[in-house]
Amino acid sequence: MLISVENQTNFEAPLEELETIACELTDKEIELIITNATTIQEINASHRAKDMPTDVLSFPLEGDFEGVPLGSIIICIDFVYDKSKLLGHTASQECMLLFIHGLLHLLGFDHECDNGEMREKEELLIKRFNLPDSLIVRTYK
């Protein structure tokens, strides 16, 4: 398995689907942490100087060495539940959308400074895995 999971919640993550998504893009191990708004806010404040909760954080590991993991993705379960309810899809689907978004960041994509490459790649993956529009895709439509 490419994904090592630390689930700090009661949410049953769609691990098989997440593994399929990961295998589509990389052969490197990924750490996935599923946590709550309080914990992700603390991480966001200490690592990004943004004292607020967020939906997903990505922390790539530097260097492309054999056996070194790609990095960590942290998903906030509170955002998963809120967005899935608001947008009318399942929590598992929202988790997969956030995972894709975080994974693309680990792979070097950055929607804040690119020319739409991350949005395009995300949109292709969403269609490939038959998922509803993600935040980045919803924002640009």
The pLDDT, as a whole number, for residue 139 is 52
For 97, residues 6+ apart whose C-beta sits below 8 A from its C-beta are 126, 131, 132, 134, 135
Query: What's the domain count of the chain?
Result: 1
Q: Is residue 128 part of a domain?
A: no
- What CATH number does residue 26 fall under? 3.40.390.30
Q: Is residue 133 part of a domain?
A: no
What are the pLDDT tens digits along the chain (141 aa)?
Answer: 799 999 999 999 999 999 999 999 999 999 999 999 999 999 999 999 999 999 999 999 977 677 789 999 999 999 999 999 999 999 999 999 999 999 999 999 988 788 889 989 999 999 999 998 765 555 544
Within-domain flag for 53: yes
DSSP 8-state class, residue 5: E
Assess contact for 37 and 56: CB atoms under 8 A: no
How does DSSP classify residue 32? E
Would you say residue 140 lies in a domain? no
Strand partners, 126: none
Q: Is residue 70 one of the residues assigned to a domain?
A: yes
Helix (H, G, I), strand (E, B) or coil at 131: coil
- Identify the pLDDT of residue 92: 97
In a domain, 99, yes or no: yes
Distance CA 31, CA 112 (A): 23
pTM above 0.85, yes or no: yes
Evaluate whether residue 50 is within a structural domain: yes
Structure confidence at residue 134 (pLDDT): 61
What does the alpha-carbon distance between residue 49 and residue 26 come to, in Å, rounded to a whole number?
29
Which residue is it, tokens 């990924």? 30
Whether 18 maps to a domain, the answer reads yes
pLDDT score for 65 = 72
The domain of 82 spans 3-109
